[in-house]
Structure 1
Amino acid sequence: MQIPKGKKIYFASDNHLGAPTKEESFPREKKFVAWLDEIKTDAAAIFLLGDLFDFWFEYSTVVPKGFVRTLGKLAEIRDSGIPIYFFVGNHDLWMNGYFEKELNIPVYHKPMEFTFNNKTFFIAHGDGLGPYDKGFKRMKKVFTNPVFKFLFKWLHPDIGMRIAQYMSVKNKLISGEHDAKFLGEDNEWLILYSKSKLEEQHRDFFIYGHRHLPMEIDLGQDSKYFNLGDWIQYFTYGVFDGEHFEMKTYK
């Protein structure tokens, strides 16, 4: 994809709408929608790298209540012709066609690679990647198991949502989150993972969410790692202008 002159590609992650309650996350949702409204004027594409919702589950005929401002703005932007790409996170991994059918937004469950203006991007939410985090990896296998999803689907939505919200907020193992402190390059799993991928093939940029900590790390070989931070504490996002990738803060 060649980015038209004057256009940019935007990246954001980890809004966790609905946490710790819908009422408390509402101001953050309004801020995110204002950002979407602002960037639509020069966006060539928008990438959302997961955990947009603190919990999301699609029943056959029911989706979680709320977030209409976000969904409506995404629909408006997509209908205007601007591509939007969504990568599921560990909090909203139970997507099953709603975004594709209702919003015409492709949803990715695994890392993907894109090329913009001859720059290669390796993009993922980031959960479960790298050599460690074995406890979360085991838990994720349970959550993505078809039998588990089938059984959960038969819970009344009010009961299922209440259980899931409690687990999401209270249980760090299930959420897969860590304290948002830089652990050093030798201990940051996504940096280690990116370096291992770089040994296989050159990529110009590795872009992730999940860590809730804005980061820019030079990996060598003209390659950089970026973590997008979050829309809870930092309100950070990434911008690619066709040549340079930059982290910014929305105020």
Structure 2
Amino acid sequence: MAKREVDIVVISDVHLGTYGCHAKELLKYLKSIRPKALVLNGDIIDIWQFSKSYWPESHMKVVRRILKFVTDGIPVYYLTGNHDEMLRKFTDFNMGTFQLLDKIVLNVDGKKAWIFHGDVFDVTMQHSKWLAKLGAVGYDTLILLNSLVNWVLTLIGRQKMSFSQKIKAKFKDAVKFINHFEQTAADLAVDKQYDYVICGHIHHAEIREINSSENNGSVLYLNSGDWVESLTALEYYQGGWKIFNYRAADFEVQTDADDDDVTDSEDLNARLDVKTLLEKFKQ
């Protein structure tokens, strides 16, 4: 399968280490592209819910694929989120083309893109972190239950459904929170005179121009969505941004084997024991 050339790819909210993570699908996507830069915009590894008992090989393969981008000389920016906030103690760490940061401003064809996860806007995160963590566990349980239901629906030839998206659509407060999140990000970006503001966190992919509520300026707001339910990413190519939506049918000819992936998995595991590292981060 020929790889697509992409200037910039932004993904967020992968939640590696949880049952809801669609690591296999993400791996197929990452194998299908050749980006000039990759931005991992928070909550890539879910340290909040990390457990030694659950780290499938598919999750490790995603880590290997990201590391392969680094060894190929492709800039990879890992921006911390709330579920991987323990990595913030290592902010500004860099190794080759890999950088660990809290936020970044990228020059995109002469325009300034302000990129950060977005949990700073979450009042629950700021004042009741224990409640946010409890909600994360509940969300992961809901996703696990949803997966079981969708498995049954697929068996009987019915269309899959999303519990959380139905819940978000039903409750006005959820819609209000998303709108407030987007407006706050836009207002700050306009005030700082950025052309783009790119976030994650709310699991809602979006690209739209937002006018500032404080002055006459506007900014292009973008959100990369997630790889738990919506399976989306942001791509910048030939001067424009678009939302990539994963569709299984587009990857039917792709196999798990990848001839250009020359990374020796055993050697990589020996040098990068992810489980041990994450346990240390949680101490």
Name structure 2 gaps, 5 residues minimum: 141-163, 212-216, 248-283
Offset, 1:105: 2.0
Structure 2 Cα separation of the partners of residues 73 and 98 of structure 1: 22
Q: Report how far residue 225 of structure 1 moved.
A: 0.7
Cα offset for 1:122?
Answer: 1.0
Larger radius of gyration: 2
Per the alignment, residue 237 of structure 1 pairs with 233
Q: In the TM superposition, what is the alpha-carbon distance from 1:93 to its structure 2 partner?
A: 1.0
Equivalent of 2:100, from 101, 107, 110? Answer: 107
* 1:169 corresponding residue in structure 2: 137
Q: SS of the residue aligned with 1:94?
A: helix
CA-CA distance at 1:166 after TM superposition: 7.2
Determine which structure has the larger helix proportion and give its number: 2
Matched, 1:202 2:193: yes
Range with bigger deviation, 79-88 or 214-223? 214-223
Change (3 A) 1:169 1:45: same
CA deviation after TM superposition for structure 1 residue 81, in Å? 0.6
Tell me the secondary structure at the aligned position of residue 128 of structure 1.
Answer: helix
Counterpart residue identity of residue 28, structure 2:
A
Q: Which amino acid aligns with 1:82?
A: I
C-alpha displacement of 1:71: 1.5
> Normalized against structure 1, the TM-score is what?
0.68
- Residue 127 of structure 2, aligned match among 138, 141, 166: 138
Measure how far apart 1:183 and its partner are: 2.0
Which of 234-243 and 76-85 deviates more?
A: 234-243
Separation (CA, whole Å) in 2 of partners of 1:222 and 1:99: 30
Alignment of 1:64-83 (within 5 A): 67-83=59-75
Letter matched to residue 209 of structure 2? D
RMSD between aligned alpha carbons? 3.6
Secondary structure at the counterpart of residue 188 of structure 1: helix
For residues 135 and 98 of structure 1, the distance between their equivalents in structure 2, rounded to whole angstroms, comes to 23
> Contact 1:116 / 1:242 at 8 angstroms: preserved in 2?
no
Q: Indicate whether 1:213 and 2:212 are aligned.
A: no
Structure 1 gaps, min length 5: 1-5, 143-164
CA contact (8 A) 2:6 2:235 kept: no
Deviating 4+ runs (over 6 angstroms): none
Task: Give the match for residue 259 of structure 2.
Answer: none
Q: Tell me, in whole angstroms, the C-alpha distance in 2 between the residues paired with 1:99 and 1:38.
A: 29
Q: Give 3-state SS (helix, strand or coil) of 2:222's partner.
A: strand
1:134 Cα deviation (Å)? 2.8
Match of 2:219 in 1: 223
Letter in 2 for 1:233: E
Query: Which residue does the alignment assign to 1:31?
Result: 25
**CA positional deviation for 1:170:** 3.0
Shift of 1:216: 2.1
Residue identity over aligned pairs, in percent, reads: 21
CA distance in 2, matches of 1:166, 1:223: 34
**Deviation at 1:92?**
0.9
Out of 125, 128, 131, the position equivalent to 2:120 is 128
Contact preservation (8 Å) 2:15, 2:44? yes
Matches within 5 A, 1:79-98: 79-95=71-87, 96-97=89-90
Corresponding residue for residue 160 of structure 1: none
Residue identity matched to 2:126: K
Q: Which amino acid in the other structure matches residue 47 of structure 1?
A: V
- The size of the alignment, in residue pairs, is 205
| Residue 19 in structure 1 maps to residue 18 in structure 2 | yes
Q: Within 1, Cα distance between the matches of 2:186 and 2:91?
A: 35
Partner of 1:151: none
1:45 Cα deviation after fit: 0.2
Cα separation, 2, equivalents of 1:240 and 1:99: 25
